[in-house]
Copies of this chain bind each other. A is one copy, B any other.
């Protein structure tokens, strides 16, 4: 069956697939209802999130806390009764933040709250500010126009439920520094990609294009970006930006941590649910992504508490180093590329701890009725079937790129960017009831996908097939 669909997927567009419809036995829905109710009354996820954020705290990839987090995740999966628990190594270079400081110089001298972008080099620059409204405006600046200056991109991010504002703002962080270097800039400041009106700045990874000499690059809190803009209205502004941070030159080995509730009939076929174990260093990585780790570990655990194992395996992955470029997820996809067809459906919880409002899968036509039925089982949780919306979570995307089918359990992210990558990403921002709703959704989804007869279209992509 899976082989047939694999071949078809390679030969035919998904819409024209002649595969037999995937179906989920009625008996599975009864148990799904039980899981749903148990999950809503269960505090396993909360306990896990509290433990991870309190005992380990911030988990910068490659830091001393990274190793503690890996040990923590294994211990928790074992304690939660997972049938198999193991790790897979993930290797990457390490970046460190030591100190960061910015100040306006001259007649209006005052400090500005900044945080270095991940990947920024250290260094102190002292120069005039040139402000741009957007990444596009920076791109349009003439070559050499920023010689010896600090570029400041003041792009304002939109607050949305689905996080679409993040995508639009992304280039300011990912490509802004390189663009500024090309125009001659010696430093880079950006308005945080975030929505918090509080005095917190949002970090996040940036990359410098090959051949460019990296420059100190940092984000201002929204409050400080507005302050700088007000000062610029009064005349030229010089700023001193002093960052002590950078790639250490060392390589570090972290691990993806994996736990399985082994399938009773098709143990090699897996429904993968995941979060990522690492975090930025400014908060305690509560909504990014202790919540995802807690939600998925708790969902698998609840399924493991049922009288019998699910038909397929539930695999929970706590990915290493998502923040610096999906490093753990890419390694997972590389290592498991041969088994892509066995990854029946994969979903990551990595958009905070807000309630889930939408569900969809990237499954082809023959599995859309099954997706619809899963959505019906999620409906009592206030979740709508939204086919055509959503997509793979960040750490699912490398797997999806080689043919794994994703599921999307879309969380309300209206408040996510108040906390994302800043110091306010802490336990107290999580609503335990909303967290339990997430666990219920993941448990129901994973259970039904594991009980389904027939596939959801996972198959090596033509490009990835030898």
Pair A110/B65 contact, Cβ less than 8 Å: yes
Pair A284/B54 contact, Cβ less than 8 Å: no
Within the oligomer, what is the number of copies of this chain? 2
Q: Which residues of B contact A284 (CB under 8 A)?
A: 110, 227
Q: A16 in the interface, Cβ–Cβ < 8 Å?
A: no
Main secondary structure of the interface of A (DSSP, over half): mixed
A426: contacting residue among B55, B68, B227, CB under 8 A:
B227
Pair B199/A231 contact, Cβ less than 8 Å: no
Q: A105 CB to closest chain B CB, in angstroms?
A: 11
Pair A56/B108 contact, Cβ less than 8 Å: yes
Please report which residues of chain A, range 50-74, place their CB below 8 angstroms from some CB of chain B when the two chains form the complex.
50, 54-58, 64-65, 68
What's the Cα separation between A65 and B113 when bound, in Å? 18
What's the Cα separation between A313 and B288 when bound, in Å? 59
Q: A10 in the interface, Cβ–Cβ < 8 Å?
A: no
Q: Which residues of B contact A424 (CB under 8 A)?
A: 198-199, 223
Pair B230/A108 contact, Cβ less than 8 Å: no
Q: Which residues of B contact A426 (CB under 8 A)?
A: 199, 223, 227
Pair B200/A109 contact, Cβ less than 8 Å: no
Who on chain B is nearest to A429 by CB? B197
Sample (19) of A-B pairs whose CB atoms are under 8 Å apart: A54-B230, A55-B231, A56-B108, A57-B111, A64-B109, A65-B109, A65-B110, A68-B107, A111-B281, A113-B423, A197-B428, A199-B283, A199-B423, A199-B426, A223-B424, A223-B426, A223-B428, A227-B426, A227-B427
Interface residues of A (CB under 8 A from B): 50, 54-58, 64-65, 68, 104, 107-111, 113, 196-200, 223, 226-227, 230-231, 234, 281, 283-284, 422-424, 426-429
